[in-house]
Structure 1
């Protein structure tokens, strides 16, 4: 396998090189020169004409003006050196960006990848393409980065801090603007291959860009086509740190899921019991399931994408332009086998596979007549008669109620295929009305359709049907080709025929659309002295959002498919917004003492929202900004910016129906450390009031949450209102004349979000009930709102019977973060042929606070990990930086990228065992993650005028990820005993790209 992959890798590159020599040379526009690895915090412009300059953070396109907003720029040169295959991978390693759902997210990946600026959530930043919004991927308004055409991207601008005045709501933590190449002419063909040194995780990518100028340069058209395919990387494939599920709090490696093989059954009055296949007895739980080997660190991915743009100058005052994006991609996730996850079932006592010992226990302890209240027991004679009953019509026929937890390992892992089709089209007209008045008007429409098809999931109704068997080959109800199942043995006792009967695929999905019309006038007004003129932009925008969730009958039925989580509830919603805005940039001083230049800027935007709901709820919002740039001397500039930002509720936050899903918890207070809980004690009364069963004066023993997951009851409302935020940035730009080629910027940022739309942290919900128990607690809403499985007493279980902890979405949250960004670049010539380039981009976080709900703990989440910290669910390290060193000799570059992540540790509140809602200290080795350093080495060769070869070693020292166990954080981000979106869990890999240009 390894040799085959390497052969494919080399063959692809050689084919590209061979193609070079078979083609004639044509004129082309050269790639704009950028410092190797350059990142900067100066808002930069392309080499386009002044009217077309894209300056992220302002609507005013004057190339002679700079704004007060710091912008980090990732140039096309850096993109080439990193050999990133998706935009999410590129942004994930950028300091100031918190890792979110992406290619290393498996359980919790919905088929899309997102960016999370400052760790404030994917729904608090905007993704733009050439300064314009594109259609979101889902009901929550986030854009899927898998669809961005990296091959045509000239640069990526990352503006952190509020930008609602310029771009509208959602830009609380900033914007990411992908700026494409303008006036591209020629052909650019890239073919790349990537593989790990373990021989897996192969990624193939090919991109072809063709462009031409026409009519003496008055017009230009570009077409880009791309294909990408990535293979999975399994936990267990030469990665021993992740092949066993490890408990984060006791360090045991016996697995984490109580849905296992052999099966687990609930028994009235005594709790859960495992079946012992050797004796047929129901014994205390001893089998935990190791789900890790089935899971993956890299999701399979296939993408076809198309991007086109065109422009034509109809006259000196009118230019028409258009842009189209189409992408079809499939992301697959693979997780451990399905089964019955504490699913309530009726077990006939005449089941032909039921061992006599287990039957005796059920007869004595379980409800043998579901129509009668309480535990109905059978005598030995009645039990024996029930065992020989021939059919449900037999008067001796009896069934017992039990919750069954059994993995269907015979079927293999659960697979979810997410297929996304997206198109986004924009057309507009722009030009000069006069020498000083410019206009730009465009309309755009986009639609995204994400369809999920799940396979290898057990249909629990058929499981119940197969339990009611009259023999080992026949079911009471033979419909659908029913095959009896044996759930009382070990792996392999369920026949292939029974597996085929139990598995039924299901389909669900999400559609979203965005229609928009945008118009802006910019003009230069008067001058203050000899300064540049005061520039003003005014305009209006209309946007219409619609979105829906759809599902087949199976996906809509909670608990119908084992291990599918809660039901997918159909949702349809939308809203529209009409906005008016204005911005001004005013140079007020220049070339006077201590004022080489002084520029002021201001902006305001009014937004009026109308929700497509009964009564047509409406709300409005004002955003505004003010900034100053003070260039003291040529080499020293100060800048500051204040913005009032807003974020309107998304369609998901307004319209989603109440449903049960999964959240994380490791310790349930009603477990009581395994000690018996008297039903008359305060704790016992509370547990019973929440639905825990009682037997013989004690709470039935409750097992820990399976795999660290419990149920959460989510609720939403069309009464949710916009969030408000205040953002500040203050910084300096230094370009010393005594050190030619050196630039540095340092900026302090502060972002506070009030009335944030959040759900309560699970730890807060638990603490609100159990932290201060009194006699009244059993009737308090804080306690009775928590609902347990009526058979097992656990907070995990079938979503149709177990609501778990309440998770209402309300405007009661608060978020705050502040820190410093530092960017430095230096470029010099050592000799005429040897050049040196150094770049540094770092982010230091002082605070990242998260208060999930009123009265909840105001958590400090900087550098901490737990199920409650942080808002995004991933880790936000205190200090991260990227440092690149590039030596260029003639047509060759050798470049080393150093990526640093500071140390992180368990959240102190979570580690404090004296607090309810905490898990207590983790296993000693898992309480802290040391600082991590990764090194990537790239070599780029300009082999001929038309052929370039780039070879990159990623994580060249094969640094292994930290081990923290499987249940110290959220399931989405704490996977494979580590955090694979934050740390490199795949290991050393190699990438090679051949590029032909003509």
Structure 2
């Protein structure tokens, strides 16, 4: 029988888990204790938060989800797995339609998806985009053995970026045999079909000296349309509580129209349904975009994973790992169109009716004076109707902002195809029986190709409106076809649409090269009162990141109607050099009241050089100290303090200023408010809205333009985090364990932008005579054609949300778990409870900004919901050939953000609302019905049948009671998360689902 030294035992499992970052939790830390037993000496002993492999080191609490839990829940993606863990705030994923870039991310503790690290077997992998975030779609779910989540600063162990913690997906090691899995999931409504198939092959060879494992997988999901659910079919306005939608509607809307021919009669008017005239009032039919949007993005994925190791000699083992995946994500949103763009229309346009032409001619040229002066006399207007040649003295055009939804063209579709690979090779061995070495290198690339279809081009809309006959445009280049923007629904023909739209493409490419070396083990000597030796780890690491965004000319131009702005070319990169060390010192062991007492500490030095002139680069130290005291074997008390950093990523450094979209329901300059307040009028005028006072609108869709970009002067942000907790495993109750851990994380010098509410408050709170010249106010720039904060990105910068190091983030809370398992005679009973209480989650954009609290609140400023209380409780009964398991998930109630309510109230008073805080606030305030989402309880029931030693059948009913999400309307939160009148990333919008899976093992 082959024998192993202590060193060989410590490195006996598969290669990917060797480098000190695999998350192995003892039963006391596990989410499911029966499946997360403490590692024995035949496993790789690695402790989260330390590079020292010590089975007794438990000073860092880790939430662990096991393969068994994943199988019972029938999770199809890594995002699904993490969504069930309390304390993780929903980030971009499958439920995000408008704002999804083809990737899925994780957001630990609500501190931002760019402030944590996602690891596979302890390794960083190439990020998906310029913000440095790893795409969860690339995780090989079929091979995941467990998932560990560590909260708090972990930069000393894992390097920069691990400010809020790490998520590590640990794959199955030393797999031998064949395992095939086929599963299918469908909603009770018959949509959202999700198919998955995986095949894993593995073998040991050469008398156990080597192992190889290879897995392939395929996944495919269908969309779930918001029009397929009663609660989301109609777009609901969060303020009025009525069916609403977008101001870019059908038939067309035009500004500077005066139907009545009176003083101050100018306004935005919509074409009548029959396409013959303009409506006499400013009321319009909002476009209901909900039915086009989706709750589950279509997804297709092919993936491969391979790992191998071979013990060349008793002293050296070589290993390798490779991951490849190709993912396609489709986002589908409502049709494109012209979103309030400035156009010139000849009065001889062949599609203009006489009534429509007269309304343009009747524009009041000086409405502020209260004296009606039409733009053209009737005679001039009639003559211009016949002047088809621009050289004719009677030829006239009118300038107007044009809005029209291209319903005849169909929805906007973005296909995101990501090709990803990451390979690693290394060698490890022993220097002595107690000291090991490990050297490895890895390289990965990710390429995301976004193809956008179904978009009108603003330039071609302008060209097609400059027509004086139905056959050709005045500029007939590009095969121009005149546009009938003045008829009713259906007036735009296929030939018109063929000219107006074109596909565009954006390629995002990233790469990561890394080399690292580690020496760890113990010194072979102990302090006088301890039995374990003093352990250490020393290492160095080099990483090189590159990233680029390469857009075609169309995407760069900002010419796509409703694309949210231009996509500029961006390129950049940086190198990181690091050295680090850790020490674990057992002080007292096996003594009365000191079953164990140990302390640990570590430090890491990092230096980065940035590929750009003028950048200061970065040079930082991070460190941590911690310890554990076990007065008796049943109780462990642990604590940790860490200093962590995050260097600015490539997007934060290199992205040029660019105008996109953000969310804001209430514009202080809208309506009549500026007419009754001289200081407000001066501010609105300074921002470019002076010609439109009294006519400025709130965007019915709750979106406004915002400008932001990178900043080469940014420096690393810093965080201080500390944790203290206890583990209780009483001897008198075998199978029982409980943990409780308090965490506190504060980020200073945070790289952040102001929230929309911060930008508005900085200008409009406490208005004075000097406000109109303040930077906070003049940095906001309005649409020159309408005075609104929304419109064409090339002319309307909107709010300025610049990046800086002025931000502060803070959160604290408690993680807790209770686990119990025992044989009750006729079955094995397993009970587990994992929960989180979040005490606070605060964000302050600058020292002068509001210190905004988002725990338990939602608004445009608190994008994704973080409830105060959350827990998941699973009960499983395991019989000889059958398991039945019930998962209960609880989400605490949440409310509309008080600070946002106060902002709404101030604006409502400015608008002259009669009773804004009454039971019926007349659309001035968020509808009272939408200001609270009650607590939610979800139940999932699973039955697992062990048909034979080789076949297992699993049946699951998810959201067993078919709970519907609470409707809050679509205009009180961030578009990415407040969609379809609900918050579908937090609350189940799909309804009851049935899943079936069969697994074959040989």
Is TM more than 0.5 here? Answer: yes
**1:56 counterpart = 2:48:** yes
Report the Cα offset of residue 51 of structure 1.
Answer: 7.9
Q: Mark the CA change 1:226 to 1:143 in structure 2 (over 3 Å): closer, same or farther.
A: same
- 1:180 is displaced (CA, Å) by 0.6
* Matched length: 949
Report whether the alignment pairs 1:308 with 2:345. no
1:398-437 CA-to-partner distances (Å, cap 9, x unmatched) read 2111110100001111111111111001110011111121
What does residue 968 of structure 2 align with? 964
Q: Contact 1:679 / 1:685 at 8 angstroms: preserved in 2?
A: no
Contact 1:604/1:624 (8 A) holds in 2: yes
Deviation, structure 1 residue 982: 0.3
Take 2:381 and 2:38, find their aligned partners in 1: how far apart are those partners?
83
Structure 1 partner of 2:383? 385
Q: Does 1:982 align with 2:990?
A: no
Retained in 2: the 8 A contact 1:42–1:72? no
Q: Which residue of 1 is the match for residue 554 of structure 2?
A: 554
**1:113–1:144 Cα contact (<8 Å) kept:** yes
Q: 2:943 aligns with which of 939, 946, 954?
A: 939
Deviation, structure 1 residue 46: 8.2
Flag the 1:44–1:988 CA change in 2: closer, same or farther, 3 A: closer
Specify the SS of the correspondent of 2:334: strand
Shift of 1:304: 0.4
Contact 2:25–2:38 under 8 Å retained in 1: no
Query: Do 2:780 and 2:799's aligned partners in 1 also have CA atoms closer than 8 Å?
Result: yes
User: Relative to 1, partners in 2 of residues 1:682 and 1:590: Cα closer, same or farther, differing over 3 Å?
Assistant: same
Runs of 4+ in 1 over 3 A off after TM superposition: 32-38, 40-54, 676-680, 913-921
Q: What is the rounded CA distance, in whole Å, between the counterparts of 1:972 and 1:420 in structure 2?
A: 21
Written as runs of structure 1 = structure 2, the 5 A alignment for 1:801-840 is: 801-831=795-825, 833-840=826-833
Residue 6 of structure 2 corresponds to none
Q: What residue in structure 2 maps to residue 18 of structure 1?
A: none
Q: 1:914 to 1:140 in 2, by over 3 A?
A: closer
Deviation at 1:382, TM superposition (A): 1.7
Structure 2 distance, partners of 1:234, 1:578, is 48
Using the TM superposition, give the Cα deviation of residue 689 of structure 1 relative to its aligned residue in structure 2, in angstroms.
0.9
Residues 122-156 of structure 1 deviation map (CA, whole Å, 9 limit, x = unaligned): 01100011111001111101100001001011111
Contact 2:35 2:68 in 1 (8 A): no
Where do 1:426-445 residues align within 5 Å?
426-445=424-443
2:267 is equivalent to residue 271 of structure 1: yes
User: Post-superposition shift, 1:680?
Assistant: 8.4
Give the 3 Å change call, closer, same or farther, for CA 54–45 of structure 1 in structure 2: farther
Alpha-carbon shift at residue 56 of structure 1 (Å): 2.1
Between 952-961 and 674-683, report the one with greater CA deviation: 674-683
Counterparts of residues 675-690 of structure 1 (less than 5 Å): 675=672, 677-678=674-675, 681-690=678-687
Aligned-residue offset at 1:914: 7.0
Q: 1:115 to 1:812 in 2, by over 3 A?
A: same
| Aligned residue runs from structure 1 range 117-128, under 5 A | 117-128=108-119
DSSP-derived class of the 2:156 partner: helix
Does 2:575 align with 1:576? yes
Aligned match of 1:9: none
- Aligned twin of 1:589: 588
1:728 maps to which residue?
Answer: 722
The residue number in structure 2 matching 1:199 is 190
Residues 271 and 700 in structure 1, CA contact (< 8 A), matched pair in contact too: no
Note closer, same or farther for the CA distance 1:747–1:47 as it changes in structure 2 (3 Å cut). closer
Counterpart in 2 of 1:328?
A: 326
Question: Residues 456 and 783 from structure 1, CA distance in 2 versus in 1: closer, same or farther, beyond 3 angstroms?
Answer: same
TM-score w.r.t. length of structure 1: 0.93
**Distance change (3 Å), C-alpha of 1:154 and 1:366:** farther
Shift in alpha-carbon separation, 1:629–1:33, aligned structure 2, 3 A:
closer
2:343 and 2:884 map into 1 onto residues whose CA distance is 64
Give the superposition deviation at 1:44.
6.8
Q: Please name the residue that 2:138 is paired with.
A: 147
Query: Contact 1:57/1:67 (CA < 8 Å) preserved in 2?
Result: no
User: 1:37: Cα distance to partner?
Assistant: 13
Distance in 2 of aligned mates of 1:144 and 1:197: 29
Q: CA deviation at 1:380?
A: 1.5
Give deviations 1:921-954, integer Å, cap 9, x for gaps: 4211111111000000000011011111001100
Task: Tell me the distance in 2 between the aligned counterparts of 1:35 and 1:229.
Answer: 35
Pair 1:205–1:332, CA change in 2 (3 A):
same
Distance 1:128 1:375 in 2: 69
Closer, same or farther in 2 for the Cα pair 1:137/1:57, shift >3 Å?
same
Query: Per the alignment, in what secondary structure is the counterpart of residue 685 of structure 1?
Result: helix
**CA spacing shift, 1:248–1:622, aligned 2, 3 Å:** same
Residues 582 and 603 of structure 1 are in contact (CA less than 8 Å); yes or no, is this contact kept in structure 2? yes
Write out aligned runs for 1:740-889 (5 A): 740-831=734-825, 833-869=826-862, 873-889=863-879
- Show the 5 A alignment for 1:635-674: 635-671=634-670, 674=671
RMSD, aligned α-carbons: 2.2
C-alpha displacement of 1:910: 1.1
8 Å CA contact retained: 2:30, 2:62: no
**What do the CA deviations read for 1:138-184 (whole angstroms, capped 9, x no partner)?**
11011000010010111111111111110011111100011111110
Shift of 1:43: 13
Contact 1:422-1:446 within 8 A present in 2 as well: yes
The structural deviation recorded for 1:593 is 1.2
Distance between the aligned counterparts of 2:78 and 2:807, measured in 1? 30
Relative to structure 1, the CA distance from residue 809 to residue 615 in structure 2 (aligned partners, 3 Å threshold; closer, same or farther) is closer
Do the aligned partners of 2:27 and 2:38 also contact (CA within 8 Å) in 1? no
TM-aligned CA distance change 1:71 to 1:542, over 3 Å: same
Pick aligned residue for 2:457 from 456, 459, 464: 459
Q: Indicate if the aligned counterparts of 2:30 and 2:36 stay in contact, CA closer than 8 A.
A: no
Q: Greater CA deviation, 87-96 or 764-773?
A: 764-773
Which residue, out of 310, 317, 320, partners 1:319?
Answer: 317
**Native 8 Å contact 2:660 2:706 kept in 1:** yes
Q: Which of these residues, 175, 182, 206, is aligned with residue 215 of structure 1? A: 206
Q: Residue 692 in 1 paired to residue 689 in 2? A: yes
Which position in structure 2 is the counterpart of 1:27?
none
Paired residues for 1:247-646 under 5 Å: 247-253=237-243, 255-267=244-256, 270-278=266-274, 279-283=276-280, 284-365=282-363, 377-525=375-523, 526-529=525-528, 530-558=530-558, 560-615=559-614, 617-646=616-645
Residue in 1 that maps onto 2:998: 994
For 1:541-585, what per-residue CA distance to the aligned partner results, in whole angstroms no more than 9, with x for missing partners? Answer: 001111111100110012x11100111011001111100100111
Partner of 1:105: 96
More deviation, 214-223/470-479: 470-479
Alignment of 1:170-181 (within 5 A): 170-181=161-172
Q: How far apart, CA to CA, are the structure 2 residues paired with 1:484 and 1:36?
A: 72
Counterpart-to-counterpart distance in 2, 1:398 and 1:808: 42
* TM-score, normalised by the number of residues in structure 2: 0.92
CA–CA separation in structure 2 for the residues paired with 1:98 and 1:642: 23
Answer yes or no: is the 8 Å Cα contact 2:34–2:830 preserved in 1.
no
Distance in 2 (alpha carbons) for counterparts of 1:193 and 1:177: 26
Does the CA-based 8 Å contact 1:767-1:916 persist in structure 2? Answer: no
Note if contact 1:676-1:701 (Cα within 8 Å) is conserved in structure 2.
Answer: no
For the pair 1:190 / 2:195, whether they are aligned, the reply is no
Q: What secondary structure, in the 3-state scheme, does the structure 1 residue paired with 2:991 have? A: coil
Structure 1 unpaired stretches of 5+: 1-31, 369-373
Using the TM superposition, give the Cα deviation of residue 282 of structure 1 relative to its aligned residue in structure 2, in angstroms. Answer: 5.0
Distance 1:490 1:772 in 2: 46
- State the shift of 1:602 in Å: 0.4
CA deviations over 1:353-396 (Å, ceiling 9, x no partner):
1121121121232889xxxxx99922222211211122323332
Q: Residues 809 and 616 of structure 1: is their aligned pair in 2 closer, same or farther, counting only changes over 3 Å?
A: closer
Shift of 1:616: 5.3
Structure 2 CA distance, aligned partners of 1:590 and 1:957?
A: 52
Shift, 1:523, TM fit: 2.4
SS of equivalent to 1:109: coil
For residues 245 and 783 of structure 2, what CA distance do their matches in structure 1 show?
A: 19
Mapping of residues 60-99 of structure 1, within 5 Å = 60-62=52-54, 64-99=55-90
Question: Contact 1:41–1:71 (CA<8 Å) still a contact in 2?
Answer: no
